[in-house]
Amino acid sequence: MQIANPMYDAVFKHLMEDKKIAKLFLSALTGLDIRSLQPLPQELIVDIGDNPQRPGQPMQAYRLDYAARIRQNDGSERVVILEIQRQIAYRQDMRFRKYLGKQYMDGDFTMPARGRRYPVGIPVLPIYFLGEPPEGFEDVPILLVDLLARDRRTMAPLKGTNSFIDALFHKGILINTRALHPSGDELETLLSIFNPFYQTENPHIMSVNEALFPKTYQGLLKRLHAVIQNKEVRDKMSAEDDFLAEMQAIADLHTRELASARRKQERAERQKEEERRRKEQAEWQKEEALRKQEQAERQKEEEQRQKEQALQKQDEAIRLLLQLGIPKSEIAQKLGLSEEDMERI
């Protein structure tokens, strides 16, 4: 069976507009008893800056965020946040955090206490469909991030719930779409419709084997099959493609700018290193020249000292010969000295 790709916001929005299917889908996904869905999916249009493809025109991101109110057996309420993310070039961490922050600031939720209702923080259960596998967990289809409170002194887990803790901390579910296969349990089979492996040549269309899906989910498949013929949804899917292409262009431009800046920095560091090396070389040459000059001066001084010692020995020899009565002329002739040399004695 061919179905519309639910990783597109427009398709997922259309799917979740059927309250019966939305309740079925979220109940299976969260394992919670969902009694009502409030509010309905919210459409958000966010201005994200200039468009590099069309300079001078602002670029808007068409986003769909889903908040579903659920009731647990004890009567407490939670908000399930659904974020749909395509496989795109940039990370979504900050957008997820900002959305969670928005939910935490919602003061409309109240709880009864002492005969009155008081505003409290909304407990949040975020669910993220990731088009790219999370590093370190590439083969895990569904990651359940749990919240565990402990007694610091004993490190024993604490049982029970508390509205203050629930309002400030949250559990979470990560759907690693690329690891989902219909051969798993019923939930993994249901979620396998988000796996990009089942895309056809047209990324808007998925091809699934409906026989692998339990009868419970046949209505969901039929709704996704029927939306293929919905021109409005198809146009929105094409608009999402354009947006993702522009996001990819921004990411590529950013990557090139980072690479260029890195190359400039590397060149500057190489030039700095080369200048440092040349400076060290010049200092070494200067020190070497100074060392050679000092060595030459020491050698000259040594030669002068040796010459003086030779003259001193020569003079002593002449005095000894004179004491023996040998005439100066004969001494000069034998030693090869001049009359000036003999006059020194």
- The pLDDT of residue 88: 41
Instruction: Give residue 304's pLDDT band: very low, low, confident or very high (50, 70, 90).
Output: very high
Q: Kindly state the DSSP code that residue 59 receives in the 8-state scheme.
A: E
The HSE-up count of residue 44 (CA atoms within 13 Å, CB side) is 16
Concatenate the DSSP letters of all residues of 141-172 into one string: SEEEE----B-TTT-PBPPS--HHHHHH---E
Once rounded to an integer, what is the mean pLDDT over residues 327-333?
Answer: 82
CA–CA dist 156, 151 (Å, integer): 5
What pLDDT score was predicted for residue 93? 58
Better-predicted residue by pLDDT, 274 or 321: 274
pLDDT digits (tens, 9 = 90+) for 184-206: 789 999 999 999 889 999 999 99
Asked if 234 and 14 count as a contact pair (C-beta separation under 8 A), the reply is no
Note the pLDDT of residue 59: 47
Instruction: State which of 24-28, 47-51, 99-103 shows the largest mean pLDDT.
Output: 24-28
Residue 93: alpha-carbon gap to chain centroid: 10
The larger pLDDT score, comparing residue 337 to residue 259, is at 259
pTM (2 d.p.): 0.61
Looking at 84-93, 181-190, 292-301, 304-313, which range is the least confident one? 84-93
What pLDDT score does 303 carry? 92
CA 129, CA 64: separation in Å to the nearest integer? 13
Domain boundaries, the chain: 2-229, 262-310
Q: In sequence order, what DSSP letters do the residues of 174-214 get, joined into one string?
A: EEEGGG--TTS-HHHHHHGGG-GGGB-SSTTEEE--GGGS-
Query: What pLDDT shows up at residue 84?
Result: 58
Which tens digit of pLDDT belongs to each residue from 56-72? 554 444 455 666 777 77
> Rounded to the nearest 5°, which phi and psi values hold at 131?
-75, -20
Report the C-alpha gap between 68 and 165 in whole angstroms. Answer: 20
The pLDDT of 226-248, averaged and rounded, is 85
User: Residue 5: how many CB atoms within 10 A of its CB?
Assistant: 25
